[in-house]
Amino acid sequence: MSVLTTTRRALAIDGGTPVRKTLLPYGHQSIGEDDIQSVVDVLRSDWLTTGPKVAEFEEAFAARVGAKYAVSFSSGTAALHGAAFAAGLKPGDEAITTPMTFAATANCVLYQGATPIFADVSSDTLNLDPEKVAAKITPRTRALLPVDYAGHPADLAGLQELARRHHLIVIEDASHALGAEYRNRRVGSIADMTVFSFHPVKHLATGEGGMVTTDRADFAETLRRFRNHGISSDARQRQTEGQWHYEMVLLGFNYRLTDIASALGLSQLKKLDENLRRRREIAAGYADAFQDLGSITLPAVRSGSRPAWHLYPIRLKLEKLSVDRSHVFRALRAENIGVNVHYIPVHLHPYYRERFGTRNGEYPVAEKAYESLISLPMFHSMTDQDVGHVVEAVNKILQHYAR
Protein backbone atom coordinates (compact mmCIF):
# COMPACT_ATOMS: atom_id res chain seq x y z
CA MET A 1 0.00 0.00 0.00
CA SER A 2 1.37 3.42 -0.87
CA VAL A 3 2.40 6.02 1.66
CA LEU A 4 -0.38 8.17 0.21
CA THR A 5 -3.16 5.99 1.48
CA THR A 6 -1.63 5.13 4.83
CA THR A 7 -0.57 8.56 6.06
CA ARG A 8 -2.53 11.77 5.68
CA ARG A 9 -0.39 14.59 4.43
CA ALA A 10 -1.53 18.13 5.21
CA LEU A 11 -3.14 19.74 2.20
CA ALA A 12 -1.37 22.81 0.79
CA ILE A 13 -4.60 24.76 1.27
CA ASP A 14 -4.24 24.05 5.01
CA GLY A 15 -0.57 25.10 5.09
CA GLY A 16 1.01 21.78 4.01
CA THR A 17 3.66 21.38 1.30
CA PRO A 18 2.24 21.54 -2.25
CA VAL A 19 2.63 18.48 -4.48
CA ARG A 20 4.78 20.57 -6.84
CA LYS A 21 6.78 23.79 -6.54
CA THR A 22 5.55 25.58 -9.65
CA LEU A 23 2.09 25.92 -11.18
CA LEU A 24 1.24 23.36 -13.85
CA PRO A 25 -1.18 25.12 -16.23
CA TYR A 26 -4.28 23.32 -17.53
CA GLY A 27 -3.17 23.88 -21.11
CA HIS A 28 -0.08 25.20 -22.83
CA GLN A 29 1.34 25.63 -26.32
CA SER A 30 4.50 23.81 -27.47
CA ILE A 31 6.69 25.89 -29.73
CA GLY A 32 9.88 24.27 -31.06
CA GLU A 33 12.91 25.73 -32.82
CA ASP A 34 11.41 24.52 -36.12
CA ASP A 35 8.28 26.59 -35.47
CA ILE A 36 10.37 29.63 -34.62
CA GLN A 37 12.48 29.21 -37.75
CA SER A 38 9.38 28.98 -39.97
CA VAL A 39 8.11 32.29 -38.57
CA VAL A 40 11.52 33.93 -38.92
CA ASP A 41 11.63 32.82 -42.58
CA VAL A 42 8.32 34.60 -43.22
CA LEU A 43 9.54 37.73 -41.45
CA ARG A 44 12.45 37.78 -43.89
CA SER A 45 10.17 37.22 -46.90
CA ASP A 46 8.14 39.67 -48.99
CA TRP A 47 4.82 38.71 -47.38
CA LEU A 48 3.59 39.28 -43.86
CA THR A 49 -0.08 38.72 -44.58
CA THR A 50 -2.11 36.90 -47.24
CA GLY A 51 0.85 35.54 -49.12
CA PRO A 52 1.78 32.01 -50.15
CA LYS A 53 1.76 30.58 -46.63
CA VAL A 54 -1.98 31.17 -46.16
CA ALA A 55 -2.88 29.05 -49.18
CA GLU A 56 -0.27 26.44 -48.26
CA PHE A 57 -1.64 26.15 -44.73
CA GLU A 58 -5.24 25.92 -45.97
CA GLU A 59 -4.37 23.18 -48.45
CA ALA A 60 -2.41 21.15 -45.91
CA PHE A 61 -5.16 21.58 -43.32
CA ALA A 62 -7.93 20.50 -45.70
CA ALA A 63 -5.91 17.42 -46.62
CA ARG A 64 -5.30 16.58 -42.96
CA VAL A 65 -8.98 16.62 -42.00
CA GLY A 66 -10.21 15.15 -45.29
CA ALA A 67 -12.21 18.18 -46.50
CA LYS A 68 -12.27 19.69 -49.99
CA TYR A 69 -11.80 23.27 -48.78
CA ALA A 70 -10.30 25.00 -45.77
CA VAL A 71 -10.66 28.76 -45.31
CA SER A 72 -8.52 30.40 -42.64
CA PHE A 73 -9.66 33.16 -40.29
CA SER A 74 -8.02 35.44 -37.76
CA SER A 75 -9.58 33.48 -34.84
CA GLY A 76 -11.96 30.63 -34.13
CA THR A 77 -14.58 33.24 -33.25
CA ALA A 78 -14.15 34.96 -36.64
CA ALA A 79 -14.39 31.52 -38.29
CA LEU A 80 -17.67 30.85 -36.43
CA HIS A 81 -18.96 34.23 -37.60
CA GLY A 82 -17.99 33.35 -41.18
CA ALA A 83 -19.77 30.00 -40.95
CA ALA A 84 -22.92 31.64 -39.52
CA PHE A 85 -22.84 34.11 -42.40
CA ALA A 86 -22.26 31.44 -45.06
CA ALA A 87 -25.13 29.41 -43.59
CA GLY A 88 -27.32 32.42 -44.33
CA LEU A 89 -28.34 33.12 -40.73
CA LYS A 90 -30.28 36.37 -40.53
CA PRO A 91 -32.73 38.16 -38.22
CA GLY A 92 -35.73 35.95 -37.53
CA ASP A 93 -33.73 32.73 -37.91
CA GLU A 94 -32.86 30.39 -35.05
CA ALA A 95 -29.82 28.16 -34.59
CA ILE A 96 -29.81 25.46 -31.95
CA THR A 97 -26.66 25.08 -29.88
CA THR A 98 -25.35 23.78 -26.57
CA PRO A 99 -25.05 25.70 -23.32
CA MET A 100 -21.93 23.65 -22.47
CA THR A 101 -19.48 25.74 -24.48
CA PHE A 102 -17.50 28.93 -24.68
CA ALA A 103 -19.79 31.90 -25.34
CA ALA A 104 -18.34 32.46 -28.85
CA THR A 105 -20.31 29.46 -30.18
CA ALA A 106 -23.65 31.10 -29.43
CA ASN A 107 -22.40 34.65 -30.00
CA CYS A 108 -21.78 33.99 -33.71
CA VAL A 109 -25.52 33.51 -34.15
CA LEU A 110 -26.13 36.88 -32.51
CA TYR A 111 -23.55 38.55 -34.79
CA GLN A 112 -25.90 37.67 -37.67
CA GLY A 113 -28.91 39.09 -35.87
CA ALA A 114 -30.35 35.57 -35.50
CA THR A 115 -31.35 33.91 -32.22
CA PRO A 116 -29.40 31.15 -30.48
CA ILE A 117 -31.70 28.52 -28.98
CA PHE A 118 -30.16 26.23 -26.42
CA ALA A 119 -30.90 22.53 -26.03
CA ASP A 120 -29.63 20.39 -23.17
CA VAL A 121 -26.73 17.95 -23.41
CA SER A 122 -26.38 14.18 -22.96
CA SER A 123 -25.18 13.32 -19.47
CA ASP A 124 -22.28 11.10 -20.60
CA THR A 125 -20.42 13.26 -23.14
CA LEU A 126 -21.98 16.66 -22.30
CA ASN A 127 -22.55 17.07 -26.04
CA LEU A 128 -25.85 18.25 -27.57
CA ASP A 129 -28.55 15.64 -27.10
CA PRO A 130 -30.35 15.09 -30.46
CA GLU A 131 -33.63 14.32 -28.68
CA LYS A 132 -33.52 17.65 -26.85
CA VAL A 133 -32.58 19.35 -30.11
CA ALA A 134 -35.55 17.77 -31.92
CA ALA A 135 -37.88 19.27 -29.35
CA LYS A 136 -36.53 22.77 -30.07
CA ILE A 137 -36.89 22.74 -33.86
CA THR A 138 -39.39 25.28 -35.19
CA PRO A 139 -40.13 26.65 -38.69
CA ARG A 140 -37.55 29.37 -37.88
CA THR A 141 -34.71 26.91 -37.24
CA ARG A 142 -32.04 27.19 -39.90
CA ALA A 143 -28.90 25.65 -38.39
CA LEU A 144 -27.60 23.28 -35.75
CA LEU A 145 -24.41 24.27 -33.98
CA PRO A 146 -23.01 21.34 -31.99
CA VAL A 147 -19.71 21.54 -30.11
CA ASP A 148 -17.29 18.63 -29.75
CA TYR A 149 -16.95 19.21 -26.02
CA ALA A 150 -13.45 18.54 -24.67
CA GLY A 151 -12.53 16.97 -28.03
CA HIS A 152 -15.20 14.22 -28.04
CA PRO A 153 -17.16 14.36 -31.31
CA ALA A 154 -20.78 15.43 -30.99
CA ASP A 155 -23.57 12.96 -31.83
CA LEU A 156 -23.22 13.84 -35.50
CA ALA A 157 -25.31 10.97 -36.86
CA GLY A 158 -28.31 11.96 -34.75
CA LEU A 159 -27.90 15.64 -35.56
CA GLN A 160 -27.36 15.10 -39.27
CA GLU A 161 -30.51 13.00 -39.43
CA LEU A 162 -32.46 15.90 -37.90
CA ALA A 163 -30.78 18.32 -40.27
CA ARG A 164 -31.72 16.21 -43.29
CA ARG A 165 -35.32 15.95 -42.14
CA HIS A 166 -35.72 19.66 -41.45
CA HIS A 167 -33.37 21.08 -44.13
CA LEU A 168 -30.92 22.56 -41.64
CA ILE A 169 -27.24 23.37 -41.98
CA VAL A 170 -24.88 21.75 -39.48
CA ILE A 171 -22.00 23.95 -38.29
CA GLU A 172 -19.79 21.83 -36.05
CA ASP A 173 -17.71 23.82 -33.56
CA ALA A 174 -14.67 21.57 -33.45
CA SER A 175 -12.48 24.09 -31.65
CA HIS A 176 -11.63 21.26 -29.22
CA ALA A 177 -11.49 18.44 -31.69
CA LEU A 178 -8.76 18.76 -34.30
CA GLY A 179 -7.67 15.17 -34.95
CA ALA A 180 -10.79 13.55 -33.46
CA GLU A 181 -12.54 10.76 -35.36
CA TYR A 182 -16.20 9.77 -35.53
CA ARG A 183 -17.26 6.43 -36.98
CA ASN A 184 -14.00 6.18 -38.90
CA ARG A 185 -14.34 9.67 -40.37
CA ARG A 186 -12.20 12.62 -39.49
CA VAL A 187 -13.78 15.60 -37.76
CA GLY A 188 -13.63 18.37 -40.34
CA SER A 189 -14.99 16.18 -43.13
CA ILE A 190 -18.45 15.39 -41.72
CA ALA A 191 -20.59 18.49 -41.06
CA ASP A 192 -21.63 21.07 -43.68
CA MET A 193 -19.03 23.37 -42.12
CA THR A 194 -16.57 22.60 -39.34
CA VAL A 195 -14.86 25.31 -37.32
CA PHE A 196 -11.46 25.08 -35.63
CA SER A 197 -9.54 27.39 -33.30
CA PHE A 198 -5.77 27.82 -33.08
CA HIS A 199 -5.68 29.55 -29.71
CA PRO A 200 -2.52 28.57 -27.79
CA VAL A 201 -4.18 25.94 -25.60
CA LYS A 202 -5.51 24.08 -28.65
CA HIS A 203 -3.86 21.20 -30.55
CA LEU A 204 -2.33 23.55 -33.07
CA ALA A 205 -1.36 27.08 -32.03
CA THR A 206 -0.93 30.15 -34.22
CA GLY A 207 -1.42 32.72 -31.44
CA GLU A 208 -4.86 33.65 -32.67
CA GLY A 209 -6.33 31.85 -35.65
CA GLY A 210 -9.15 29.70 -36.93
CA MET A 211 -10.35 27.66 -39.91
CA VAL A 212 -13.58 26.55 -41.51
CA THR A 213 -13.56 23.32 -43.51
CA THR A 214 -16.29 22.32 -45.95
CA ASP A 215 -16.90 20.23 -49.03
CA ARG A 216 -19.17 22.87 -50.56
CA ALA A 217 -17.58 25.21 -53.10
CA ASP A 218 -20.28 27.86 -52.57
CA PHE A 219 -19.63 27.99 -48.82
CA ALA A 220 -15.87 28.19 -49.40
CA GLU A 221 -16.28 31.07 -51.83
CA THR A 222 -18.55 33.01 -49.46
CA LEU A 223 -16.21 32.36 -46.53
CA ARG A 224 -13.23 33.70 -48.51
CA ARG A 225 -15.10 36.85 -49.42
CA PHE A 226 -16.51 37.36 -45.93
CA ARG A 227 -13.07 37.26 -44.29
CA ASN A 228 -11.76 39.83 -46.78
CA HIS A 229 -14.22 42.75 -46.61
CA GLY A 230 -16.67 41.00 -48.92
CA ILE A 231 -14.29 41.51 -51.82
CA SER A 232 -14.43 39.34 -54.88
CA SER A 233 -11.54 39.48 -57.23
CA ASP A 234 -12.34 37.48 -60.27
CA ALA A 235 -9.26 36.63 -62.31
CA ARG A 236 -11.08 37.01 -65.63
CA GLN A 237 -12.47 40.39 -64.70
CA ARG A 238 -9.01 41.48 -63.60
CA GLN A 239 -7.75 40.57 -67.04
CA THR A 240 -10.43 42.50 -68.87
CA GLU A 241 -10.65 45.49 -66.49
CA GLY A 242 -7.03 45.67 -65.36
CA GLN A 243 -4.98 44.13 -62.52
CA TRP A 244 -6.25 46.72 -60.03
CA HIS A 245 -9.84 45.57 -60.39
CA TYR A 246 -11.85 44.20 -57.48
CA GLU A 247 -15.44 44.47 -56.34
CA MET A 248 -17.02 44.50 -52.91
CA VAL A 249 -20.01 42.20 -53.27
CA LEU A 250 -21.09 41.66 -49.66
CA LEU A 251 -20.49 43.24 -46.27
CA GLY A 252 -17.49 41.37 -44.91
CA PHE A 253 -14.76 41.97 -42.37
CA ASN A 254 -11.01 41.90 -42.15
CA TYR A 255 -10.77 38.44 -40.60
CA ARG A 256 -7.65 37.38 -42.51
CA LEU A 257 -5.01 35.12 -41.02
CA THR A 258 -1.46 36.38 -41.59
CA ASP A 259 1.35 34.60 -43.40
CA ILE A 260 3.26 34.75 -40.12
CA ALA A 261 0.52 32.79 -38.33
CA SER A 262 0.03 30.44 -41.30
CA ALA A 263 3.72 29.53 -41.33
CA LEU A 264 3.46 28.68 -37.64
CA GLY A 265 0.29 26.69 -38.32
CA LEU A 266 1.96 24.71 -41.12
CA SER A 267 4.89 23.89 -38.91
CA GLN A 268 2.61 22.88 -36.01
CA LEU A 269 0.43 20.76 -38.29
CA LYS A 270 3.42 18.49 -38.99
CA LYS A 271 3.46 17.59 -35.30
CA LEU A 272 -0.26 17.02 -34.87
CA ASP A 273 -0.09 13.22 -34.92
CA GLU A 274 2.55 13.10 -32.21
CA ASN A 275 0.60 15.68 -30.21
CA LEU A 276 -2.58 13.58 -30.43
CA ARG A 277 -0.68 10.42 -29.52
CA ARG A 278 0.64 12.06 -26.37
CA ARG A 279 -2.76 13.49 -25.37
CA ARG A 280 -4.33 10.05 -25.77
CA GLU A 281 -1.53 8.56 -23.68
CA ILE A 282 -2.13 11.12 -20.91
CA ALA A 283 -5.90 10.49 -20.99
CA ALA A 284 -5.29 6.74 -20.72
CA GLY A 285 -2.88 7.38 -17.83
CA TYR A 286 -5.50 9.42 -15.95
CA ALA A 287 -8.22 6.83 -16.61
CA ASP A 288 -5.93 4.10 -15.29
CA ALA A 289 -4.81 6.04 -12.22
CA PHE A 290 -8.32 7.11 -11.23
CA GLN A 291 -10.25 3.93 -12.02
CA ASP A 292 -10.72 3.07 -8.34
CA LEU A 293 -11.38 6.60 -7.12
CA GLY A 294 -15.07 6.43 -6.26
CA SER A 295 -15.64 10.17 -5.85
CA ILE A 296 -15.19 11.21 -9.50
CA THR A 297 -16.70 10.41 -12.88
CA LEU A 298 -14.18 10.24 -15.70
CA PRO A 299 -14.96 11.64 -19.16
CA ALA A 300 -16.96 9.14 -21.21
CA VAL A 301 -15.86 7.86 -24.61
CA ARG A 302 -18.66 6.54 -26.81
CA SER A 303 -18.03 3.57 -29.02
CA GLY A 304 -17.11 4.71 -32.54
CA SER A 305 -15.65 7.99 -31.24
CA ARG A 306 -11.98 8.77 -30.94
CA PRO A 307 -11.61 12.02 -28.97
CA ALA A 308 -8.79 14.49 -29.48
CA TRP A 309 -8.58 15.28 -25.73
CA HIS A 310 -8.38 19.05 -25.76
CA LEU A 311 -9.57 18.94 -22.14
CA TYR A 312 -9.76 16.27 -19.46
CA PRO A 313 -12.89 17.25 -17.51
CA ILE A 314 -13.66 15.11 -14.47
CA ARG A 315 -16.91 15.40 -12.53
CA LEU A 316 -16.94 15.25 -8.73
CA LYS A 317 -19.52 13.02 -7.06
CA LEU A 318 -20.39 15.73 -4.59
CA GLU A 319 -22.50 13.43 -2.44
CA LYS A 320 -19.32 11.50 -1.63
CA LEU A 321 -17.34 14.58 -0.60
CA SER A 322 -17.60 16.87 2.43
CA VAL A 323 -16.79 20.03 0.40
CA ASP A 324 -18.08 21.58 -2.82
CA ARG A 325 -16.42 21.96 -6.24
CA SER A 326 -14.98 25.39 -5.57
CA HIS A 327 -13.23 24.12 -2.45
CA VAL A 328 -11.70 21.17 -4.32
CA PHE A 329 -10.71 23.60 -7.08
CA ARG A 330 -8.94 25.90 -4.61
CA ALA A 331 -7.28 22.94 -2.90
CA LEU A 332 -5.90 21.71 -6.25
CA ARG A 333 -4.66 25.19 -7.12
CA ALA A 334 -2.93 25.36 -3.72
CA GLU A 335 -1.10 22.14 -4.68
CA ASN A 336 0.06 24.03 -7.82
CA ILE A 337 -2.19 22.05 -10.15
CA GLY A 338 -3.64 24.65 -12.55
CA VAL A 339 -7.13 23.26 -12.91
CA ASN A 340 -9.90 25.14 -14.70
CA VAL A 341 -13.66 24.82 -15.24
CA HIS A 342 -15.27 24.34 -18.67
CA TYR A 343 -17.89 25.77 -18.86
CA ILE A 344 -20.22 28.15 -17.09
CA PRO A 345 -23.32 27.29 -19.18
CA VAL A 346 -23.71 30.09 -21.72
CA HIS A 347 -27.36 30.82 -20.87
CA LEU A 348 -26.31 31.73 -17.32
CA HIS A 349 -24.00 34.57 -18.36
CA PRO A 350 -25.48 37.97 -17.42
CA TYR A 351 -25.67 39.07 -21.06
CA TYR A 352 -27.83 36.09 -22.02
CA ARG A 353 -29.91 36.28 -18.83
CA GLU A 354 -30.64 39.96 -19.43
CA ARG A 355 -31.26 39.72 -23.15
CA PHE A 356 -33.20 36.45 -23.30
CA GLY A 357 -34.43 36.01 -19.72
CA THR A 358 -32.67 32.64 -19.47
CA ARG A 359 -32.23 31.27 -15.95
CA ASN A 360 -31.18 28.37 -13.77
CA GLY A 361 -33.18 25.20 -14.19
CA GLU A 362 -33.72 25.39 -17.95
CA TYR A 363 -30.96 22.98 -18.96
CA PRO A 364 -30.65 20.71 -15.94
CA VAL A 365 -28.09 18.25 -17.34
CA ALA A 366 -25.64 21.00 -18.31
CA GLU A 367 -26.24 22.92 -15.09
CA LYS A 368 -25.77 19.90 -12.84
CA ALA A 369 -22.59 18.96 -14.69
CA TYR A 370 -21.27 22.49 -14.32
CA GLU A 371 -21.57 22.29 -10.51
CA SER A 372 -19.19 19.35 -10.42
CA LEU A 373 -16.78 19.89 -13.35
CA ILE A 374 -13.04 20.38 -13.02
CA SER A 375 -10.68 20.28 -16.01
CA LEU A 376 -7.37 18.64 -15.12
CA PRO A 377 -4.20 19.76 -16.94
CA MET A 378 -4.05 18.29 -20.46
CA PHE A 379 -1.49 19.34 -23.04
CA HIS A 380 0.91 17.37 -25.18
CA SER A 381 4.15 18.63 -23.63
CA MET A 382 3.15 17.48 -20.14
CA THR A 383 5.82 15.15 -18.78
CA ASP A 384 5.11 11.86 -17.01
CA GLN A 385 6.18 13.65 -13.84
CA ASP A 386 3.57 16.37 -14.44
CA VAL A 387 0.89 13.71 -14.91
CA GLY A 388 2.11 12.02 -11.71
CA HIS A 389 1.74 15.30 -9.82
CA VAL A 390 -1.85 15.71 -10.99
CA VAL A 391 -2.70 12.15 -9.96
CA GLU A 392 -1.02 12.61 -6.58
CA ALA A 393 -2.80 15.89 -5.86
CA VAL A 394 -6.24 14.62 -6.91
CA ASN A 395 -5.83 11.48 -4.76
CA LYS A 396 -4.51 13.47 -1.81
CA ILE A 397 -7.39 15.95 -1.87
CA LEU A 398 -10.26 13.62 -2.64
CA GLN A 399 -9.15 11.12 0.01
CA HIS A 400 -8.94 13.96 2.51
CA TYR A 401 -12.49 15.15 1.82
CA ALA A 402 -14.06 11.71 1.32
CA ARG A 403 -17.25 11.28 3.31
Judged by the rule CB under 6 A, the positions of this chain that interact with ligand PLP are 75-77, 101-102, 104-105, 147, 173, 175-176, 197, 199, 210
Of 100 and 397, which CB lies nearer to ligand PLP in the complex structure?
A: 100
47: exposed, middle or buried (Cβ count in 10 Å: 0-12, 13-18, 19+): middle
Q: Kindly name the residue from 202, 270, 271, 396 that is annotated as catalytic.
A: 202
Least Cβ distance, residue 171 to ligand PLP (angstroms) = 11
- Asked if residues 345 and 100 have their Cβ atoms less than 8 Å apart, the reply is yes
Least Cβ distance, residue 105 to ligand PLP (angstroms) = 5
Q: Is 202 among the residues known to form the active site?
A: yes
370: left (phi over 0), alpha (psi -120 to 50) or beta: alpha
Q: How many CA atoms lie within 13 A of 256 on its CB side?
A: 16
- Name the packing angle between helices 104-111 and 76-86 (round to 10°): 40
Least Cβ distance, residue 173 to ligand PLP (angstroms) = 5
Of 126 and 283, which CB lies nearer to ligand PLP in the complex structure?
A: 126
What does the longest C-alpha to C-alpha distance in the chain come to?
83
Backbone angles phi, psi at 96, to 5 degrees: -95, 130
The total number of residues written for the chain in this structure = 403
Strands 305-306, 181-182: pairing is antiparallel
Least Cβ distance, residue 101 to ligand PLP (angstroms) = 5
Least Cβ distance, residue 211 to ligand PLP (angstroms) = 10
- Separation between Cα atoms, residue 269 and residue 275, nearest integer Å: 10
The residues carrying an active-site annotation are: 202
